[in-house]
Amino acid sequence: MAIGAGTMTLADYALLSNNPLVKAVTYSLIQNDNVIQDVPLLNKKSLIASGVRFEGNLPTVNWSQLNAEGVTTKGTPTAYQEQAYLIRNYVDVDKMFVQEENAIVDPRATQVQAYLRALTYDLNFKFFKNDHITGDVNSFIGLRHRIDNGGIYGVRPENKIDAGGVDLSVAGMTQATANKFLVSLDQLLWSVDSPTGTGVTLYGNEVFQRQFAAAVRVMGTSGGFTTMQDQFNRTIQMYKGAVIRDPGYRADQVTRVLATTETANGLADTGGTYTSVYAVNYGTDHFFGWQFNDINVQDLGLINNGVIYRFLIDWAVGLMNASTRSIGRLYDVKLA
C-alpha cells in the first residue's frame, strides 16, 4: 500500500487539526464508524479529478546485448475521471431552545450529534450501494455498482468472487466449510493486490463477523484472525493484516447496509440467506479520495433573522480508483 505524501484520514484530522470544531466533528464521525475514516484523502481544489490506470498494455521489457542501443518502451494507460460530490447542511436551532434554562444538555450539540449520526448512516450506504440509475445522482458511485460494471470503473471480473454458497451458519458450519471460507477470503485479498491483507479493509455485517469468529474457533486455530486496539482504544478485528469493519445500518436503523438476506447470485438484497464481504486496498496507488478542502465546520451563531442559531457543515469529497486491483466482493456466503 502507498498512502502517499499529503494524504490525511479522518483519524488524522481528529487527532491533529488545530480547529476544535473540525476535531470534534471528525472524531464524532469516527466514533459513529463512518467508512470514510479509512479513506486516505488528498486536498485538491477541483471538482473533477483525472487519472490513468493500466488495464492492460503494460510497457514491454527489452533484453539487450552488450554495447547495444536501448529500446524505447512505454505502456498505454487508460484515462479516467472522477467527480467530487458536495455535502452541505445547516443545523438550525431556535434561540428559545438555546436560552432555555432548564435544558440539561446543549440543544445545538444534540442536533449536531444527531446530524452526524445520520451522515454516517447515509455515507456508509452510498459508499457501498449508490448508483446513478436508481440512486442519488448527487453522491458518489458505490462499490457494488463499480464492481458490477468493472469495464467502466476499472475493476477486473476476477474481483467479483462467488464463494459457492459456503455455509457459515450456526447449524451448518463445519471445519470443512470454515476452511473453504478462508480459502475464498484469501482469494478476495489476492484480488485486491494484497495477499497478506496489508492496507486492506474488509467490510462485513455484524452477523458475518460473529460467524467468522465462530468459524475460527471451529477450526481450532486463530487462522489469522486477531483483535487489537486502535488509537482511539476501540477493539478492532483483523484477518492477517486486514482490518474488519461493519458499515452498520441505514438511517432507519433497521436495514443493514450489507444485508444478511442476499440472494445466492448476489444481485438482490432480499429473498435469500446470504451475505457479501467487500475488500478495499487503500492507498494512492489503489483506492483513495480527495476533498476540495478540509471539511468546513462553522458555528455561524445567531443569524441575521435574529431568531435562529445556525451551524454549517460543508464538504466536497470524491473517490479515486487508481488500479484494477483495488476493490473486490466475495458473495454467496451463507449465514442461515
Amino acid identity, residue 88?
R
- DSSP letters along 91-135, please? EEEEHHHHT-TT-SS-HHHHHHHHHHHHHHHHHHHHHHH--SSSS
Please report, in tens digits, the pLDDT of each residue of the chain (336 residues total).
Answer: 444 555 767 666 666 666 666 667 776 777 667 888 889 999 999 999 999 998 888 899 999 999 999 999 999 899 999 999 999 999 999 999 888 888 778 888 888 888 888 888 999 999 999 999 999 999 999 999 999 999 999 999 999 999 999 999 999 999 999 999 999 999 999 999 999 999 999 999 999 999 999 998 898 776 788 888 776 667 889 999 999 999 999 999 999 999 999 999 999 999 999 999 999 999 999 999 999 988 888 899 999 999 999 999 999 999 999 999 999 999 999 999
Nine cell digits for residue 43: 486536498
Give CA–CA dist 175/167, Å, rounded. Answer: 10
Pairing assessment for the beta strands 85-94 and 308-321 based on DSSP bridges: antiparallel
pLDDT of residue 1: 45
The CA–CA distances, whole Å, from 97 to 103, 107, 110 equal 8, 7, 11
Question: What is the DSSP code (8-state) at residue 46?
Answer: -
**Comparing C-alpha atoms, which of 256, 259, 258 is closest to residue 272?**
259
Q: List, in sequence order, every residue forming a beta bridge with 291; answer none if it has no partner.
A: 43, 317
Using CA atoms, how far residue 192 sits from 82, 154, 202, 205, in Å, is 20, 12, 11, 20
* Distance (Å, whole) CA 180 – CA 137: 39
Helix (H, G, I), strand (E, B) or coil at 49: strand
User: Angle at which helices 175-191 and 206-219 pack, to 10 degrees?
Assistant: 120
- pTM for the complete prediction? 0.89
pLDDT value of position 224: 81
Q: Which residues contact 54 (CB under 8 A, 6 or more apart)?
A: 75, 77, 78, 324
Which pLDDT score, from 0 to 100, does residue 154 have?
A: 95
Residue 269 and residue 279: Cα distance in Å, rounded?
A: 18
Domain regions of the chain by residue span: 159-284+324-334
Q: Residue 143 is inside which H or E element, if any? A: helix 143-148
Kindly compute the dihedral angle of the four CA atoms of residues 117, 286, 289, 37, in this order, to the nearest 10 degrees: 30
Backbone φ and ψ for 278, nearest 5 degrees, come out as -105, 145
Burial class from Cβ neighbours inside 10 Å (0-12, 13-18, 19+) for residue 301 reads exposed
